[in-house]
Amino acid sequence: MLILIGLLAIIVIGWVIIGPRILPPANDAPVHTGLDGRWTRTPHDPLGTTLELSGPSYALGGALEFEGSGTAAVSGDELFLADDAACPGVAGRYAFELGSLDRFGLLPENRAQTMTLTVLTDGCAARADALGAETWTLRASGREGIYGICDPPNEEAAITGHWPEPSGCS
């Protein structure tokens, strides 16, 4: 009996020591910034500029002087951008303020989200020029209850296509 208890103790201790090294983390889902979605600063031409925030990453492109991608994180009302190959070793810190705008006269609960970014610090001048002091309008979010200008107002409109989809959203 003592041999079985000893073997069980060895197995448990081995599992506690070796288990975390060989098993994946219990929660490997990406950390979301709470701002996830595709944003544009040119709502009349949503594909003209794009800031995409997805989990712990961002990508910036379109008709901008700067294009890049890297990691993103949010703390309070600040957005942190880093690890961009276009600006190696340089991080950016931006204050953001969320708002909303009317989506073609739709119900108030279906207003599109907006985000104004203000540069706090960023050693990458081109990225700061592309992002800062601009209001970005959400194109599409995929987040429950948060709408962008390209999101249909309801499920029926999405299925039938009977809604005034802005140009550049397709």
- Among 157, 160, 102, 130, which residue's Cα sits nearest to residue 40? 130
Confidence at residue 128, expressed as pLDDT on a 0 to 100 scale: 93
| Rounded percentage of the chain residues whose pLDDT exceeds 70 | 79
Three-class SS of residue 37? strand
Confidence at residue 26, expressed as pLDDT on a 0 to 100 scale: 45
Kindly state whether residue 81 falls inside one of the protein's structural domains.
yes
Q: How many folded domains does the chain comprise?
A: 1
148: pLDDT strictly greater than 70: yes
Segment 18-63, tens digit of pLDDT: 655 554 444 444 455 678 988 988 877 777 888 999 989 999 998 8
Strand partners, 147: 112
Segment 106-116, tens digit of pLDDT: 555 567 889 99
Confidence at residue 79, expressed as pLDDT on a 0 to 100 scale: 93
Confidence at residue 49, expressed as pLDDT on a 0 to 100 scale: 87
Kindly state whether residue 77 falls inside one of the protein's structural domains.
yes
Of 26-30, 101-105, 137-141, the poorest mean pLDDT is in 26-30
Sign of CA dihedral 17, 20, 26, 30: positive
DSSP 131: H
Confidence at residue 73, expressed as pLDDT on a 0 to 100 scale: 92
- How are beta strands 49-54 and 37-40 bridged, if at all? antiparallel
Kindly state whether residue 120 falls inside one of the protein's structural domains.
yes
170: pLDDT strictly greater than 80: no
**160 vs 144, higher pLDDT:** 160
Q: Which domain holds residue 44?
A: 37-160
Kindly state whether residue 119 falls inside one of the protein's structural domains.
yes
| Rounded percentage of the chain residues whose pLDDT exceeds 90 | 32
Kindly state whether residue 165 falls inside one of the protein's structural domains.
no
Kindly state whether residue 8 falls inside one of the protein's structural domains.
no
Kindly state whether residue 12 falls inside one of the protein's structural domains.
no
Kindly state whether residue 16 falls inside one of the protein's structural domains.
no
In the Cβ-directed half-sphere of 165, how many Cα atoms lie within 13 Å? 15
**pTM for this entry:** 0.72
Q: Which backbone phi and psi does 100 adopt, to 5 degrees?
A: -155, 165
Confidence at residue 28, expressed as pLDDT on a 0 to 100 scale: 43
